[in-house]
């Protein structure tokens, strides 16, 4: 990425821009599955700071930032003849400041690709080990040692999917028989133990969505029918809590339900859970939502309702050339139909921002997570994508 030397008549070739450091609390990665890359934005001013590639695949998997190492990791798949031929899967390592590729680690060519990219890999606490979910067709997890830059081993997980970190050498998974699994590694990253939970949800009548959010040693998952399940992975085996309803009886009769893709976000300091919701019947669990409901997870009750930002305006504004602060812009925001949002993510600072996107539009709405006020739009983020990855400094 070239930058100007300060003159208006010529570019200074050979100068390479770097991501400004130190990082603030409001940075977010936005992936795009059409152009197969992810863009880093500053939520405070809307600037695009850089990009990394994402290989081939349906989901264009998101980056996994490691602030302590000043690195970013991307799981990629390649074929010797473009879209066919011999497959190679790697974890590519980027410098977080220059966004230059430092190298890669080859892993078994069985990385899962679900189309949304959620929970397909995770950086464990301490930033030493990366766990990557495989499905071909059996399920397993590949462990990569990021200190030694090597593949450690593949752990068979028998019908369990998703990677939900809960420690430097521990992560949880959800299983197809209605249980959860705790995977523990030894100090070298090899399998130490596998511990299942009791069955706590029905995978036929009310399955859980994979879009869980972390609350310390536990993870929160919403079911298709709108019940919140908390699973504590901090002990010797997963311990599910009694679920509670995100909707009252009246709201259920009005067909309010959770929906979207990355449809939950959790702000730990205030204990606030954000959920994308819409009105629709069974089978509409992937539909975007016009509202974002906010819950106090300790009191187990809703405390606020926010309007989802109208991301259609942010998508078309660069094409029509309207000043985003003008009167015309305010009129267009009001008149344009809002398509709703599929995905949300919240920063973890004392003045948190809530990012929201529709998977089919190239803009991201930015809200003040405390008031719900629309702050700005991140524009030209791509054509289609699912995930938002906030970056902790």
How confident is the model over 198-210, as pLDDT tens digits? 999 999 999 999 9
Q: pLDDT tens digits for 120-144?
A: 999 999 999 999 999 988 999 999 9
Task: Indicate the pTM of the whole model.
Answer: 0.93
- pLDDT over threshold 70, residue 8: no
Confidence of residue 334 (pLDDT cuts 50, 70, 90): confident
Please tell me the predicted confidence (pLDDT) of residue 58.
53
Q: Do domains 62-112+119-196 and 202-393 have the same CATH topology?
A: yes
With helix as H, strand as E and coil as C, how does 23-61 read? Answer: CCCCEEEEEECCCCEEEEEECCCCCEEEEEECCECCCCC
- pLDDT over threshold 60, residue 310: yes
CATH of domain 202-393: 2.130.10.10
- pLDDT over threshold 60, residue 12: yes
Please tell me the predicted confidence (pLDDT) of residue 384.
84
Q: Which residues pair with 220 in a beta bridge?
A: 213, 230
Asked if 302 and 294 touch (Cβ cutoff 8 Å), the reply is: yes
Please tell me the predicted confidence (pLDDT) of residue 4.
39
Asked if 189 and 152 touch (Cβ cutoff 8 Å), the reply is: yes
278 versus 58: which is more confidently predicted? 278
**Domain ranges, ordered by start, for the chain:** 62-112+119-196, 202-393
Asked if 367 and 360 touch (Cβ cutoff 8 Å), the reply is: no
Q: CA neighbours within 13 Å on the CB side: how many for 299? A: 9
Confidence of residue 54 (pLDDT cuts 50, 70, 90): confident
The mean predicted confidence, pLDDT, of the chain is 92
Q: pLDDT tens digits for 66-112?
A: 999 999 999 999 989 888 899 999 999 999 999 999 999 999 999 99
Least confident span in 39-48, 50-59, 110-119, 203-212? 50-59
62-112+119-196: CATH topology is: Methylamine Dehydrogenase; Chain H (2.130.10)
């Amino acid at each position: 990425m070239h930058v100007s030397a300060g003159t208006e008549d010529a570019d200074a070739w050979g100068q390479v821009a770097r991501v400004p450091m130190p990082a603030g609390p409001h940075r977010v990665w936005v992936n795009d599955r059409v152009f197969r890359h992810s863009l880093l934005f500053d939520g405070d001013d809307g600037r695009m700071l850089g990009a990394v590639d994402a290989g081939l695949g349906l989901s264009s998997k998101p980056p996994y930032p490691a602030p302590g190492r000043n690195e970013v990791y991307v799981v990629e798949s390649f074929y010797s003849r473009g879209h066919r031929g011999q497959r190679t899967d790697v974890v590519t390592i980027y410098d977080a400041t220059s966004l230059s590729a430092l190298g890669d680690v080859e892993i078994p060519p069985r990385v899962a690709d679900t189309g949304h990219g959620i929970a397909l890999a995770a950086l464990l606490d301490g930033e030493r080990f990366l766990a990557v979910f495989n499905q071909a067709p059996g399920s397993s997890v590949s462990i990569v040692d990021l200190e030694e830059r090597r593949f450690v081993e593949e752990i068979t997980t028998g019908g369990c999917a998703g990677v939900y970190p809960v420690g430097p050498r521990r992560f949880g998974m959800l299983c197809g028989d209605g249980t959860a699994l705790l995977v523990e590694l030894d100090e070298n990253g090899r399998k130490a133990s596998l511990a299942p939970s009791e069955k706590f949800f029905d995978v036929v009548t009310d399955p859980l969505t994979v879009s869980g959010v972390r609350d310390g040693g536990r993870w929160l998952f919403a079911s298709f029918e709108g019940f919140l399940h908390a699973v504590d992975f901090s002990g010797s085996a997963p311990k599910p809590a009694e679920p509670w309803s995100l909707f009252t009886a009246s709201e259920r009769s009005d067909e309010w339900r959770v929906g979207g893709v990355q449809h939950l976000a959790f702000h730990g300091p205030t204990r606030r859970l954000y959920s994308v919701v819409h009105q629709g019947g069974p089978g509409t669990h992937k539909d975007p939502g016009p509202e974002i409901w906010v819950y106090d997870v300790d009191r187990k009750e809703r405390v606020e309702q926010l309007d989802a930002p109208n991301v259609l305006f942010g998508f078309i504004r660069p094409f029509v050339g309207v000043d985003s602060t003008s009167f015309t812009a305010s009129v267009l925001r009001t008149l344009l139909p809002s398509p709703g949002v599929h995905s949300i993510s919240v920063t973890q600072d004392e003045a948190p921002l809530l990012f929201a996107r529709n998977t089919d539009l190239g803009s991201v709405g930015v809200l003040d997570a405390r008031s719900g006020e629309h702050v700005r739009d991140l524009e030209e983020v791509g054509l289609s994508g699912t995930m938002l990855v906030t970056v902790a400094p």
